[in-house]
A and B are shown apart, each in its own frame.
Chain A
Amino acid sequence: MSSNSFAYNEQSGGGEATELGQEATSTISPSGAFGLFSSDLKKNEDLKQMLESNKDSAKLDAMKRIVGMIAKGKNASELFPAVVKNVASKNIEIKKLVYVYLVRYAEEQQDLALLSISTFQRALKDPNQLIRASALRVLSSIRVPIIVPIMMLAIKEASADLSPYVRKNAAHAIQKLYSLDPEQKEMLIEVIEKLLKDKSTLVAGSVVMAFEEVCPDRIDLIHKNYRKLCNLLVDVEEWGQVVIIHMLTRYARTQFVSPWKEDDGLEDNEKNFYESDDEQKEKTDHRKKPYTMDPDHRLLIRNTKPLLQSRNAAVVMAVAQLYWHISPKSEVGIISKSLVRLLRSNREVQYIVLQNIATMSIQRKGMFEPYLKSFYVRSTDPTMIKTLKLEILTNLANEANISTLLREFQTYVKSQDKQFAAATIQTIGRCATNISEVTDTCLNGLVCLLSNRDEIVVAESVVVIKKLLQMQPVQHGEIIKHMAKLLDSITVPVARASILWLIGENCERVPKIAPDVLRKMAKSFTSEDDLVKLQILNLGAKLYLTNSKQTKLLTQYILNLGKYDQNYDIRDRTRFIRQLIVPNEKSGALSKYAKKIFLAQKPAPLLESPFKDRDHFQLGTLSHTLNTKATGYLELSNWPEVAPDPSVRNVEVIELAKEWTPAGKAKKENPAKKFYSESEEEEDSSDSSSDSESESESASGEQEEEGDSSEDSSEDTSSEHRSDSESASEVGDKRTAKRNSKSKGKSDSEDGEKENEKSKTSDSSSTDSSSEEESSSDSESVSESEREPESRKVAKEKEKKKTKQDRNPLTKDVSLLDLDDFNPVSTPVALPTPALSPSLIADLEGLNLSTCSSVISYE
C-alpha cells in the first residue's frame, strides 16, 4: 500500500494531496481491519454502541468516558474503528475529543488512522482559520510515516496562509514532521527560512523553536532576521521569548567579538586556558585598539533589558543568562536584583535560581553582595533550598561580612534539621580556609561543637577540623588530644577515621596518646567499619616507623588481623604495609624510604564549592542544573577573535519595478496601517515621552486635590473597603488618541484580511500593498517625516540618491521596527552589501543614546 501511494505521489509531484488521501483510505480493506479486534470488543461493547448511535449526546458521553480511560492510562485502542468514524462529526466537542483519541492511538493503528486523513485535508481548506489550524495540528500530530508527503504539503501551504495563527501552527508542525521523518530536513529548512521572515509576533517564537530543533547550526538563516527578532522580542509571548533569547545568546557568541576587557577576563577565578586566549587577544587588540561594540550587539542587550521585569521566571532567567554570557562585565550587575526577586517564588523556581546564583557568585562576588541577607535561611525552607543558600552565603563571605555571617551560622548549626546543620559546619570550614582572619575563631567554634549532643554534628566537625588542622602546620596538640578522647564515644565511621588519621599524622606531637589509641583500636579492630580499619592500619604503620619500641607488637597484631579480613582492600593494604615497613630479605629498596613515604608532607585539601566547575555550562540550562551534559545540549562557543562580517545582518529588499506602481486600493489602506506600526516604535515613545509627561502632569494637576481627598476618605471610613476615587478621565492626551486609531487600524486590516481569504483575486493587490508598506516604513527609518502619503515620494527620492551612493540599484533597508502582523509573507530576496549602511548606524546609535540617558536619570 505504501509503495502504491508513493508511486502516485511521484507522478503528481506531490501536487494533489487530497486525492492521495482518498486513495490511501480506499486501499484499506474493512473486513481485515475490523476483524482483528472483534475479540476484544466485548468489554467496551456499550461504548461502541453509544458511538454508533445517532444522538450526539450519547456519542459525547462515550467519548468522555474514553478520554477518561486514556487519562488513566488504560488501553482504549480497540475502540479505534468506532471512534474514527466520528471524526467528521458536526459537534465540535465530539470532534475535539476524537482528535485527542486519534493523536493518542494513530501510531498504533496506522492503517485505520488513514481513514481520517481526508477529513483533515478538507478542513485545511476551510475558510475558518481556527478549523484550518486545528486540522493542521492534528494532521501533523498523527505519527504515521505514510502521510509524510501530505504533511509536507500541508505545512508548505499553511506557512503561506494569511492567518498568522495558522502560520504559527505550521511552525509547530515542522518540528513534528522532523521528528517523524528527519529525511525531510532540507525541505523543512526552506519552510523555516520562509517563516523566519514572518513579521508576526505570534509566529516568531514558534519558528525559532522549530529552527532550534531542526537546524540549530544554520546560523546563516538568522542574519537577516536578527534585528527584526531583537525588536519584536518584547511583544512576543512569554514562551517564545525564552526560546528566542537562548538562540540569540548563541548567535551573539559566534558573531560579535568579546566585550570583556582583558583585566576583567583575568579577574578572579577564570580558568587557565582562558589566559592563553587573553594573550592572543592582547596581540589582536593592539592592532585595533579601542573596542567598540557592534551596534547589533548593543541592540540585543538593550532590547532584552525590559524583560528582566517579566512575571515569568523563565524569561527573567533567560535574560539573566544572556547578560551573563554576552554583555560587558560592567553591565551584568543589573540582573542580580531580578534574580533575587525570583526567590520569592515557589520552591522549584527557587531551587533552579539559587543554583544559577551559586555559579555566578563564585566568579563575581560583588554582584550579589548587596543582597546577602536575602539568602538567609528560614527554618521553614526545604533542606535543598537551605543548602543552596548556604552555598551562596559561603561564596559571598569576605573579611567585611564574615562576622555577621558567622553569627548567622551559629543559629544554623543548632537547627533541628541535622543534615542542614552538618552542611553549615562544612561551610564554616570553607570560610575558615578562605578568610585567614577568622580561621582561629572558626576552629575554636568547631571545637566547641565537638561536645554537641548530636553525633552527626560532632562527626562533621571532626572531619572539618581535620581538614583545617592539615592546612595549618602550627601546633594544635590540645585539639588533637581532645579529639582522641572522642574516640570512645563517637561512632560515625568517617569521624573515627578522621581522628585516627589526624593522630597518625601528628603522632610525634602526641607521643603519649598515640600508642594508647592504637592499643584501643587493636582491641576493637574486628568490629570497626572498613574505612576505620584502613586508618588503623595507617596509624599502626606510622607509629611503627616513629615509635617502634612501644608499638611493634601491636602493629604486628593488627597486621595479622588485617591479613585475614573479609574485605580484600584491607587484605591488600595489610600486605602492602607489611612489605614496606617490616624489613626482611625480600623487601626491596623502597622500605628504606618507608618513613618518608608514610610521613610525607601532604598537601592540604582544597575546600571548594561544588559549583566551581559548573560555569562551563550555559546558565539556566538543564545541563547546568544536572551538572552533566544533557542530550541535545548546545555548547556556547567562545567569542570569535575577529568579528564575522556584520553586513550580513543588513536587510535589503529588491523592489521590482512592477510592484512600485501602487494599486489604488493599497494606497487607501496604507496610512492606517502605517499609523499603527509607527505607534509601537521606540523612537516614538522616547521622543514623545517628555512631551506627554508634561501634558499628563498638567492634566493631573487639576485633579490631584480631588484624588487626594478621596484617598483620605477611604482611610477614614474604615468600614468601606473600596473607595471610589472618581476622577473624570479626560481624553485630551495625544497618545491615547493615537492608540485608539491604532486599534481601529488593526481591526480594519483584520477585515481586509478576511476579504482576501474569500476572494483570491485580491491577493495580488494585497501583496502589493504589503511591499508598499514595507517600502514606506523604510522611509520612517530614513526620514523622520511620516504619516503623510507624500512622504513616500520623498522616500523614493532619497532612495534614489542613496542607490547612487551604494551603486546597488533598487535596494534599501527595511524598517526594523515594523510590527505589522497582517502581512502576507512577501519573500524579499536578499543580496549581501559591503557594509552597514550609515543611516542605520546613526539610527541605532540614536536609540542607544536615548536609552542610556533614561537609565541615568532613573537608576
Chain B
Amino acid sequence: MLTAPPSRPSGLSCRQGRKGEVHLQPGLLGSQAQEVQTRWRPSPCFGAGKRSPTKMIHSLFLINCSGDIFLEKHWKSVVSQSVCDYFFEAQEKAADVENVPPVISTPHHYLISIYRDKLFFVSVIQTEVPPLFVIEFLHRVADTFQDYFGECSEAAIKDNVVIVYELLEEMLDNGFPLATESNILKELIKPPTILRSVVNSITGSSNVGDTLPTGQLSNIPWRRAGVKYTNNEAYFDVVEEIDAIIDKSGSTVFAEIQGVIDACIKLSGMPDLSLSFMNPRLLDDVSFHPCIRFKRWESERVLSFIPPDGNFRLISYRVSSQNLVAIPVYVKHSISFKENSSCGRFDITIGPKQNMGKTIEGITVTVHMPKVVLNMNLTPTQGSYTFDPVTKVLTWDVGKITPQKLPSLKGLVNLQSGAPKPEENPSLNIQFKIQQLAISGLKVNRLDMYGEKYKPFKGVKYVTKAGKFQVRT
C-alpha cells in the first residue's frame, strides 16, 4: 500500500490523497485511474466544498387532521418522529390547514409537505432539492393510494398498511423515485380486491408479482406488455372547466377555459393511436402525458401515442385567453346588511346565458358567509339549501335550470347583535355541468389505430363544468 492511513481498513485498490492527486495501487484498475488523473480538470466554480451525503426524500410521515402520526417510512437511517414537532408548530401558527407552508426549515432538516384529502404527507429532506420535485412526488404517492384503495384516507391506508409499505418501497429507492407509473406498480404489486384477498387466504398466493414489469425495460415504460381484451375499447372524455371571476355588475373580470382529455383505453397488444382535432389551434397551451410524441404534435398537431393500459390523463390544455369565453350562467344578487340591526336580506337568482342550447345541470352555489352571520332563514324556489352555523358555509343545491322558471333563493340573514355589519358581501362560488358540450368548441376529428389488426370500439364524450367560478357581490 502506498499512502493509505493506517487506521483505515485497507483492502481497496485506490485512495485519495491530496485533492486532484490519485494514489494507485498497481492492479486491475490502474490504467483507468491513470486516465482520470490525466484528464482531471479542476473547475472551482462548478461546485465545491463538502456536502453531506444524503439527498432527496429521507423519510415520510403521514399525519391526520388531529395531529396523529399514523404511518412512517424511512428510506435511509431513521429520523425520529420528533422532527414533526416543527411541523405541528407551523400548523398551529397557520391556524388554517390550507395555510401551513409547504416548505419548513428546521435546524437539521427541511420538511416539505402536502395536504391531500384531510391528510398531511410530510417528507423529511436533508439537503438542497427542487421543492417541486418532492411535492410532485408526494402527490403521485397520494394518487397511487387513491388508485389502489379507491380513496386516500387514513382508514384505507391503515387497512392496507402492508401494500402501502410495499408501494412506498417500490416508488422510492434511497429517496429517489424508482417506479411511479401506475401500470408498472400494478404489475409489481396487485391492488387489493375482495375476491383476491379471499383467494389468497385459501391458496396462500400473494399480491406481489415476481416478474419484472416489461414496461420498465422498454422505451415505453408506461405500458405493460401482454395486454389482452375480448372487447377492445378506447374512450376519451373531453372535460372543460371554466375559471372565471365575475364582478358585482355582472361583467367578466377574468375568464379562461382549462380542459383535459381523460382516456380509458382497453386495447390489446401494442396499439399506436393518433388522435386528431377539427380545430387544434384552439389549444393554446398543452401539457402531455409522457406517451405522446412531442414532434408529431409540433409538426402536425396530431396526438400520436402508444397508450398506457387503463385510465389516464392524456393531455391538459388551456384555451387561449384571447378568445372570448362564453359564460353559461348569470346570477342576479342582492345581499344587504342593515346598519345597527341584527338582520340582513339575501336574494339570489340564477339564469342561463350563452349555454349553446344545452341544459345546465348540477348547479350548486356555495357561499362563505361573514363571521357575524348567526343563521339564515331562506326559501328556495327549487332545490334545497343548508347553512352550517359553525363554518358559516351556505350551500344551495339547485339542480337543473328550466328557463321558464328561474331558480331563486330568498330570505333573511340573522346577524350577531351588536357586532358591526360586515364590510364586504361574500362572493358566490358556483358549480355547474353541461353534458355533450365542450364550451371552447374543441372537437375530436378522428382516432386512428395502427399496429394492431382488430377494430376497436371508439367513443368521445364532451362535458363542460365550472372550475373556479366565482361571482363577487
Contact = CB atoms under 8 A, between A and B. Distances in A.
Question: Which 6 pairs of residues, A with B, have the shortest CB-CB distance?
Answer: A637-B45, A722-B459, A632-B127, A93-B206, A9-B11, A736-B450
B416 interface: no
Interface size class of A (residues with CB under 8 A): 35 or more
Interface string B66-90: 0001111110111001000000000
Nearest to A623: B128
Given A306-B298, A311-B316, A379-B368, A349 B451 contact: no
Contact of B9 (A3, A60, A631): A3
B285 A337 contact: yes
**Chain A interface, DSSP helix/strand/loop, else mixed:** helix
A66 to B, nearest CB: 10
B114 to A, nearest CB: 5
Interface in B200-230: 201, 204, 206-208, 210-212, 216-219, 221
Contacts of A189: 36
8 contacts: A91-B206, A104-B78, A107-B77, A242-B130, A352-B102, A633-B128, A740-B450, A740-B451
Contacts of B388: none
A176 interface: yes
A196 B9 CA distance: 29
A9 B9 CA distance: 10
Interface string A412-442: 0011100000000000000000000000000
B174 interface: yes
Contacts of A337: 284-285
A416 B136 contact: no
Nearest to A143: B77
A206 B176 contact: yes
Nearest to B292: A309
A68 B217 contact: no
A165 interface: yes
A725 B275 CA distance: 12
A634 B47 contact: yes
A689 B451 contact: no
Contacts of A212: 55
Interface string A447-475: 00000111000000000000000000000
A724 B298 contact: no
A382 B98 contact: yes
Interface stretch (A232-240, A323-331, A360-368, A518-526): A232-240
Interface in A266-319: 306, 309-314, 316-318
- Scoring B115, B130, B218, B422 by chain A CB atoms within 10 A of each residue's CB, the highest score goes to B130
A416 B424 contact: yes
**Chain B interface, DSSP helix/strand/loop, else mixed:** mixed
A736 B318 contact: no
Contacts of A316: 287
A73 B422 CA distance: 48
B103 A376 contact: no
Interface stretch (A36-44, A339-347, A535-543): A339-347
Contacts of B461: 721-722
Contacts of B35: 829
A628 B128 contact: no
Contact of A310 (B127, B161, B253, B290): B290
Interface string B243-286: 10101000001101010000000000010101010000000111
B8 interface: yes
B206 A130 contact: no
A2 interface: yes
B100 to A, nearest CB: 9
Contacts of A140: 174
Given A220-B41, A453-B423, A317 B128 contact: no
Contacts of A714: 436, 460
A376 B253 contact: yes
A854 B298 contact: yes
Nearest to B162: A64
B295 A682 contact: yes
A656 interface: no
Contacts of B180: 237-239
Given A338-B287, A416-B426, A693-B299, 17 more contacts: A68-B161, A96-B208, A97-B166, A152-B12, A186-B14, A209-B56, A219-B46, A254-B43, A379-B427, A414-B423, A416-B371, A454-B423, A626-B103, A631-B126, A685-B295, A715-B436, A725-B458
A726 B130 CA distance: 46
Interface in A368-387: 371, 373-374, 376, 378-380, 382-384
A696 interface: yes
- Scoring A152, A163, A169, A175 by chain B CB atoms within 10 A of each residue's CB, the highest score goes to A175
Interface string A706-739: 0100010011001001111111111101001001
A709 B77 CA distance: 63
A814 interface: no
A228 B22 CA distance: 28
Contacts of A340: 285
Interface in A581-638: 620-623, 625-626, 628, 630-635, 637-638
A72 B71 contact: yes
A56 interface: yes
A130 B130 contact: no
A198 to B, nearest CB: 14
Given A182-B53, A382-B96, A172 B173 contact: yes
Interface in A170-211: 172-173, 175-176, 178-179, 182-187, 189-190, 193, 201-202, 206, 209
A454 B421 CA distance: 11
Nearest to A184: B12
- Scoring B55, B137, B321 by chain A CB atoms within 10 A of each residue's CB, the highest score goes to B55
A685 B178 CA distance: 30
A454 B39 CA distance: 69
Given A172-B174, A686-B299, A622 B128 contact: yes
Contacts of A622: 103, 110, 125, 128-131
A165 B218 CA distance: 10
Contacts of A258: none
A389 interface: no
B217 A311 contact: no
A336 to B, nearest CB: 10
B45 A14 contact: no
B470 interface: yes
A621 B40 CA distance: 29
A72 B68 CA distance: 10
B177 interface: yes
- Scoring B73, B116, B371, B426 by chain A CB atoms within 10 A of each residue's CB, the highest score goes to B73
B468 A235 contact: no
A60 B45 CA distance: 53
A488 interface: no
Nearest to A707: B446
B379 interface: no
Given A382-B99, A622-B110, A630-B127, A686 B295 contact: yes
B324 interface: no
Contacts of A733: 450
Contacts of B126: 631-632
A350 to B, nearest CB: 9
B371 A71 contact: no
Contacts of B164: 71
A137 B253 contact: no
B286 to A, nearest CB: 6
B299 A718 contact: no
A743 B452 CA distance: 12
Contacts of A312: 136
B449 interface: yes
Interface in B378-431: 420, 422-424, 426-427, 429
A318 B127 CA distance: 17
A67 B300 contact: no
